[in-house]
Amino acid sequence: MKLDSRIPQGELSNKWTEYKSSVPLVNPANKRNINIIVVGTGLAGASAASTLAEMGYKVSAFCFQDSPRRAHSIAAQGGINAAKNYQNDGDSVYRLFYDTIKGGDYRSREGNVHRLAEVSTNIIDQCVAQGVPFAREYGGTLSNRSFGGTQVQRTFYAAGQTGQQLLLGAYSALERQVGLGNVTMYSRHEMIELVKIDGKARGIIARNLVTGELERHFGHAVLLCTGGYGNVFYLSTNAMGSNVTAAWKAHKNGALMANPCFTQIHPTCIPVSGHYQSKLTLMSESLRNDGRIWVPKEKDDNRAPNDIPEEERDYYLERRYPAFGNLVPRDIASRAAKERCDAGYGVGPSKMAVYLDFKYNMKEKYGRAEATKRGISNPDDATLVELGKELIKEKYGNLFDMYKQITDEDPYEVPMRIYPAVHYTMGGLWVDYELQTTVPGLYALGEANFSDHGANRLGASALMQGLADGYFVIPYTIGNYLSKEIHTKPIPTDHEAFVTAENNAKERIKNLMGIQGKRSVESYHRELGKIMWDKCGMARSEKGLKEAIEEIKALREDFYKNVRIPGSADEFNPELDKAGRVADFLELGELMCHDALNRNESCGGHFREEYQTEEGEAMRNDNDYTCVFAWENKGENNWEVHREELNYENIKIQQRSYK
Amino acid sequence: MGNSMKINLKVWRQKNQNTSGSFETYSVEASPDMSFLEMFDVLNEQLIEEGKEPVAFDHDCREGICGMCSMVINGRPHGPKQGVTTCQLHMRSFKDGDTVVVEPWRSNAFPIVKDLSVDRGAFDRIISSGGFVSVNTGSAVDANSILIPKETADTAFEAATCIGCGACVSACKNASAMLFVGAKVTQLSELPQGKVERESRVVAMVNQMDAEGFGACSNTGACAAECPKEIPLSVIANLNREYYKAKLNGK
Amino acid sequence: MSFLFSSSLGRKLVMAVTGVSLIAFLLVHCLINAMVFFNDGGATFNVAAEFMSANWFIRTMEIGLFAGLLLHIAQGLWLVGDNQKKRKSRYQINGGSANSTWYSRSMGLLGTIILIFLVLHLKHFWVVSRFEIPHGITEEHTLFHEMIEIFENPIAVIVYVLGCISLSYHLLHGFSSAFQTLGVNHKSYTPLIKSLGVGFSIVVPLIFAAIPVVMHLGLIK
């Protein structure tokens, strides 16, 4: 199979403009006769569904949650990037493009990323028009802050709830179309099979999670906006329900998975506190604007953090990366934390944590500024801290509250304890420039696809990509496919392909329900997660990955013998839903290990212990691996790998340095 | 890591919307650092091991923002702590040996799906009746061409933090949804972008709210007191004012 | 205008508007009653009472007041009944005391007690002062004399005091609630209204309740 990314010819900065002006259109009358299925209602799904419906298409949207407003995009905290240059600090589309490519460690496509940077500005306009209450300055203009891996302030935010506000904006737009009858919303529905007719995606089999009924839905095209698969690690910052199932069914039906091992481990999460832990909570990257990360200089220092004097603290990020300091990209910050903890400098009861300390900036940066503003001369330390606290509260109040709620410690008084956790997956379904997978008519948007973030995603770029894909990319690119489909009449769902797909799904569910073994689904998921985290997590080695593959195979075998799913298949049965998802994770996990094993270099979030510099920095191999690996499913956990070369015509590949 | 604690649970079990439910009692070993939902995870694993049906409950993000979790704990939505959702409530808020009664949101407008899980589709229908700004993708002007005073943006944001969990309805003696509706109406009527449709919006949303079977507001303030996002009661005053103004103008 | 009787917000508006007018009436009523404290054998009080019953403008207002009162009662009972139907399956444990005051949740009950009291009260004083009936109000037997006579009975005193307590709690919530329903929401005025409401709800019923007590004790003659 030859992978064709179908990037338009021409000058990088003109590609998208020219593409838009020349892509075939579907006239309004024909749009009304075309059905589009959108699976998932996060930023990508909700924005795509609403925009396509506004254009006149008939849309059916699906989500497994009880309401489309609950998709996990809602939990994104820090912000969304856009090359607006409102801060007059020299930002531009090119700079955002460049930062994203570099941040992704030169493993993403120039064409896609440039388009992303171009439309970033439209996103902010669109969201503001919808009534998204972004943070503002006293003059009424929009406020910005900095995020990791950049030296400009281009991140727009709404306190620590940016994802929520953006998603609610997209959700309102979606609900508006529901009200107008252009979108039919199916909540508490899960896609469990892709239906293909004559090689093209023509529908899905969805399970009504309340009644257990299997439903057939036809669409001229199917859009998967189903998010990432970080939950393969069991513990992650993803929602409990986040899963790979829809994407995996597509994968097993012909869509290629690209770079599945590219996982983002986020450096600032609340550490694990016990074996019962069900998920990890992120503390936004924006905190690194004002928080300084450190560990004691002495090993096994058991003093309380506030008792450790300044000179006995190791601000290791500032020490190792003076240019970017605490704002190095996520992969680098995560690995540095792991390095310190592995070397025995970790803090907290588990010793697997580092401090994120706000005292300094609370006092020196905000306290002093506020004191000057209020005309307090020679303020004492206590006054400075008090003044600074107010400003910190305004910026990060909800995050500090959340931290206190979970840990029972007050971060205004003692430094936060943080540790890296799985957060985002850069890998995903392989798509071309038009976001189409290798199955005609099947598209993947947002985190579900692989295209824009390379081997590491920069902070505040996930929201940007989700909304870019949904609001501004797919509405154009899908026209290229649908303009050829205007003569296709809706295919009745008693078509053989629908029947077969439904029977397959039914059979699978029957099998799962029939096992009636001894172990809970959760216990398998937990065990898989541990294998993945230990051997395919922040650091990977050939030996570990090979072991992991064998362990996953054995675990999968055991799962199909010993799992116990209570209840029945024709009722609301969350255990059955979970079992289906874990079954898919058990296959995906193996593929991730194969991918990690196949990529003999370290880049971005993918760190192979065999490939590092003497200082412990990632060592890329640009000669052999400036490419995308896309895996084709050959049935029964067999894959064939395909290669898409990445051509850098505008950016010179360099060693990524944040020093 | 804290000590183990024994919690006696009285949990509402109901097979589906068409059957009647009843309480079952269970006993769980918990840790004070566990979240309330993690305690339910432990219970469910225990039940599965015993060959019984686990308790169905809604949850997803487990960081207090998706609005999916919904338990009435000892008579209070999201439990005894102010300003947190069930998923962010930790067992340290309880004592060893406590008996805890857990019920679903109860309201005609939120039919029970199973056990502690309810159908909040009514909220979606209210939003789809008018909780939006009618702006199609692509027709927006430059973001900074709409200047919005910081104070206005902050008020709108405060109202917009509603997570649509339904605790307000479940706390209200009338099962009224006015805090939810008021929050959305306040957010959009404060902002210049939402002002254009403010009258038709509020009337449509109130009509839908009534049609869904929510009660009227008695201003007891229970909704705001139990709201995990601490949406203030003033949004209901705004809702009233917006509605009467619209009615005066013949909407 | 049908929304006043069909939509939840419209119905609340009726409650608030009639509530506020009843509050205004209570103020006037209380001021006039307070004149008994001149302890001049009811002279000042009688003049005021006479004015209230003879003035055509007041009499017209009185019709409006009664209409408002009836509306307040009917709409109130109807709303309470409707609201109760919104939750068919009740909670096993009700945590209401943690999030609201008992009287804010008991406006229907308090209102009903006041209504029962009101029937008695109207029979005692309003009927005799407005209509020419045997043993009615005459120049010799003034309204003041009627009060003294009625409050000789300790049961009547107790009933009146209980009525006033109900009124006090009803107002304690109703006063500020009416303004909230009317959409009054202001950073500095809303707290002011709330304080005013509390003051009103305590002082006015206290004055009302004091009259039967002091009369019964013979402190006012």
How far apart are the CA of A119 and the nearest CA of chain B, in angstroms? 11
Asked whether residue A344 is domain-assigned, the answer is yes
Local confidence band at B1 (pLDDT 50, 70, 90 cut-offs) = very low
Q: Which residue of B has its CA nearest to A405?
A: B88
**Residues A439-452 as b or e (16 or more Cβ within 10 Å = b):** bbbbbbbbbbbbbb
The beta-carbon neighbor of A75 closest among B63, B124, B149 is B63
Q: Answer yes or no: is A309 within a domain.
A: yes
Maximum CA extent, chain C: 61
pLDDT at C134 over 80: no
Residues of B in contact with C83 (CB under 8 A): 173-176, 215-216, 218
In angstroms, the separation between the Cα of residue A496 and the nearest Cα of chain B is: 33
> For residue A349, which residues of chain B lie inside 8 Å, CB to CB?
1
The reply to whether A89 falls in a domain is: no
Which residues of chain B does A139 touch, with a Cβ-Cβ cutoff of 8 Å? 147
What 3-state class would DSSP assign to B107?
coil
From chain B, the residues in CB contact with C86 under 8 A are 107-109, 174-176, 213-215
Instruction: Read off the pLDDT band of B2 (50, 70, 90).
Output: low
Query: A589: buried, middle or exposed (CB in 10 Å: 19+, 13-18, 0-12)?
Result: buried
Catalytic entry in A69, A107, A216, A330: A330
Q: CA A154 to CA A163: how far, in whole Å?
A: 16
Average pLDDT, chain B: 96
Q: Which of B132, B139, B193 sits opposite A175 (nearest CB)?
A: B132
Residues A271 and A418 in one domain: yes
Q: How many Å apart are CA B126 and CA B144, to the nearest integer?
A: 30
Summarised one tens digit per residue, pLDDT across range A238-249 is 999 999 999 999
Reading the block at residue C28, the tokens are: 């006037």
CA–CA separation, B244 and B250 (whole Å): 10
Q: How many CB atoms lie within 10 A of CB A350?
A: 15
**A384 and A522 both lie in a single domain:** no
Tokens of C10: 């419209």
Sort out which chain A residues have CB atoms less than 8 A from B134's CB and list them: 176
**Residues A277 and A386 reside in one and the same domain:** yes
B69 neighbors B87 (Cβ within 8 angstroms): yes
Average confidence (pLDDT) over B139-166 = 96
Could you say which of A380, A406, A422 is where a domain stops? Answer: A422
Token output for A506: 């039914």
pLDDT tens digits, residue range A357-384? 999 999 999 999 999 999 998 999 999 9
Across the interface, do B176 and C91 touch by the CB < 8 Å criterion?
A: no
In a domain, A543, yes or no: yes
**How distant is the Cα of B211 from the closest Cα of chain C, in angstroms?**
9
* Residue of chain B with shortest Cα separation from A350: B1
Per-residue pLDDT of C37-80, as tens digits, reads 999 988 999 999 888 878 888 889 989 999 999 999 999 999 99
Q: What would the pLDDT profile of A388-404 be if each residue is shown by its tens digit? A: 999 998 888 888 988 99
- B209–C10 CB contact, under 8 Å: no
Same domain, yes or no: A403 and A551: no
Cβ neighbours for B115, distance < 8 A, ≥ 6 positions apart: B11, B12, B13, B14, B21, B55, B56, B57, B104
**A394 Rama class: left (phi>0) / alpha (psi -120 to 50) / beta:** alpha
> Closest-CA residue in chain A for B51?
A566
Query: Is B61's CB within 8 Å of A239's CB?
Result: yes
Give the model confidence (pLDDT) of B91-114 as tens digits: 999 999 999 999 999 999 999 999
Which DSSP state fits B176?
B
Within a domain: A220 = no
Task: Give A148 or C47, the one with higher predicted confidence.
Answer: C47
Q: Is residue A86 part of a domain?
A: no
A and B in touch (3+ CB pairs within 8 angstroms): yes
Does residue A508 surpass a pLDDT of 50?
A: yes
- Contact pairs from chain B to chain C, CB under 8 Å: 138
Has this prediction a pTM greater than 0.90?
A: yes
Q: Is B38 on the interface with A (CB under 8 A)?
A: yes
Asked if residue A552 belongs to a domain, the reply is yes
**Domain residue limits at A361:** 266-422
Whether residue C64 contacts residue C25, with contact meaning beta carbons closer than 8 Å, is answered with no
Q: What is the mean pLDDT of residues C101-107?
A: 96
pLDDT band for C130, please (50, 70, 90 cuts): confident
* B175–C86 C-beta distance less than 8 A: yes
Say which residues have a Cβ less than 8 Å from residue A51's Cβ, sequence separation at least 6: A173, A470, A471, A474, A475, B136, B137
Distance of residue C137 Cα from the nearest chain B Cα, in angstroms: 41
Domain count, chain A: 2
Is A140 within 8 Å of B1 when comparing Cβ atoms?
Answer: no
Do residues A286 and A393 both lie within one domain?
yes
- Chain B CB contacts of A70 under 8 Å are 60-61, 66-68, 164
What CATH number is attached to the domain comprising A616? 1.20.58.100
In this predicted structure, the answer to whether residue A179 has a pLDDT above a threshold of 80 is: yes
Chain B nearest CA to A46, separation (Å): 12
A touches which chains (3+ CB pairs under 8 A)? B
Which residue, of A396, A422, A448, is where some domain finishes? A422
Q: Which of C93, C100, C176 comes nearest B222 by C-beta?
A: C100
With touching defined as 3+ CB pairs under 8 A, do chains C and A touch? no
Is A170 within a domain? no
Domain termination site, one of A404, A422, A440: A422
ipTM over the 0.95 cut-off: yes
Q: Which residues of chain A lie closer than 8 angstroms to B79, CB-CB?
A: none
A564 catalytically annotated: no
- For C7-34, b where at least 16 C-beta lie within 10 A, e where not — what string? bbbbbbbbbbbbbbbbbebbeebbebbb
pLDDT in tens, C77-101: 999 999 999 999 999 999 889 999 9
C115/B109 Cα distance (integer angstroms): 32
Q: How far apart are CA C2 and CA B241, in angstroms?
A: 18
CA distance B216 to chain A (A): 24
Contact A277 B38 (CB under 8 A): yes
Question: B240–C183: do the CB atoms touch at under 8 Å?
Answer: yes
Per-residue DSSP letters for A390-441?
HHHHHHHHHHHHHHHHHHS--TTTSPEEEEEEEEEES-EE---TTSB-SSTT
Same domain, A275 and A399: yes
Q: Which helix (H) or strand (E) holds B23?
A: strand B22-30
Find, in chain B, the residue whose alpha carbon is nearest to that of A73.
Answer: B66
Over 60: is that where the pLDDT of A150 sits?
yes
Task: Give dist(CA A141, CA A156) in Å, integer.
Answer: 11
Q: Closest chain C residue to B208 measured between Cα atoms?
A: C7
In this prediction, what percent of chain A has a pLDDT beyond 70? 100
Q: Taking a C-beta distance cutoff of 8 angstroms, is the pair A452, A465 a contact?
A: yes
Cβ contacts of A520 on chain B, cutoff 8 Å: 44-45, 48-49
Which domains does chain B show, CATH number per domain?
5-114 (3.10.20.30), 120-135+145-248 (1.10.1060.10)
**Residue B10 burial (CB count, 10 A):** 16
